[in-house]
Amino acid sequence: MNPSEQTPPVGIIGGTGLTTLKDLAIEREQATPNQWGEPSDKLVFGSLGKQPVIFLARHGNPHRIPPHQVNYRANIQALYDAGVRTVVGVNAVGGIHSEMGPAQVVVPDQLIDYTWGRASTFFEGDLEHVTHIDFTHPYDDSAREQLIAAARELDVSFSDFGVYGATQGPRLETAAEIRRLERDGCDLVGMTGMPEAVLAAELGMRYVCLGLVVNWAAGKTEDIITMAEIEEAINQGMSGVKQILEQSVAG
């Protein structure tokens, strides 16, 4: 039996700036509709080193699905059905904490959910009983440690803490909204961290967020936020994200 038949696959959900993984040795791609609808894109089955990996582009490829319209349930269910029990969610984020400027990589340890109107649970509809999962620690500790250990070994500027504020989007925030998030204790802000994390938890999967800061959050500088600066930070920082993924996943 070859190793890929023994080792469970790691799921990688790529966000803005990560629609493909260049170093992924691709074996096949498969459309996997399920009871929740269509995932954002085909699942890409492959391997990083000896580790089987299933990659999914959260916003589709090309990037076309806005954060509030991602079918998070179909995405997580598709990965689960394909055998994934550990998910790395890669997220572009805005930086609020003074150490979290553009191109910084962040492995957050907590989150606050400000999203609304998204299908955010598998436990609804015709239920036999009501389920309230524990969500005290939204990100899996050992998966976080693996990413952090990989980042330490590499020459990548990263933070091993942070509270992720998940906002609705697709617009960016006002300066007052960011001040409120900061008062709440948020260190970074993004639009796709939830309900992805909780859906993975509802299925008993290990979930971890690998964030890349692509701009200072609104009001943190004198300037407005431009797509050009976001693209520049993605170009600068995404190679570090990919290195961390390779090193931590491929081992």
Residues contributing to the annotated binding site for phosphate: 16, 58-59, 192
CA distance 192 to 174: 18
CB of 137 to ligand HPA, least distance (A): 23
CB of 214 to ligand HPA, least distance (A): 5
Residue ranges of alpha helices (H) inside 44-90 are: 72-81
| Nearest to ligand HPA of 10, 214 (CB atom) | 214
| Nearest to ligand HPA of 3, 66 (CB atom) | 66
| Nearest to ligand HPA of 79, 230 (CB atom) | 230
Amino acid identity of 250? Answer: A
Cα–Cα distances (Å) from 66 to 56, 70, 170, in that order, read 15, 6, 6
Which residues sit at the interface with ligand HPA, rule CB under 6 A? Answer: 92-94, 167, 172-173, 189-191, 214-215, 217
The binding site consists of: 16, 58-59, 191-192, 215-217
Based on the number of CB atoms within 10 Å of its own CB, is 83 exposed (0-12), middle (13-18) or buried (19 or more)?
A: exposed
For residue 40, the tally of other CB atoms under 10 A from its CB is 22
| Nearest to ligand HPA of 64, 152 (CB atom) | 64
CB of 155 to ligand HPA, least distance (A): 24
Look up tokens 């091993």; give the residue: 160
CB of 246 to ligand HPA, least distance (A): 23
The binding site for substrate consists of: 191, 215-217
CB of 114 to ligand HPA, least distance (A): 10
CB of 62 to ligand HPA, least distance (A): 18
Torsion of CA 239, 240, 246, 251, to 10 degrees: 160
Q: Which residue is nearest to ligand HPA (CB)?
A: 94
Cα–Cα distances (Å) from 55 to 22, 187, 226, 246, in that order, read 11, 27, 28, 13
Contacts of 43 (CB under 8 A, 6+ apart): 29, 30, 31, 32, 54, 55, 56, 78, 79, 82
| Nearest to ligand HPA of 44, 107 (CB atom) | 107
Amino acid identity of 63? Answer: H
| Nearest to ligand HPA of 197, 217 (CB atom) | 217
Query: Of 113, 84, 87, which is closest to residue 191 (Cα–Cα)?
Result: 113
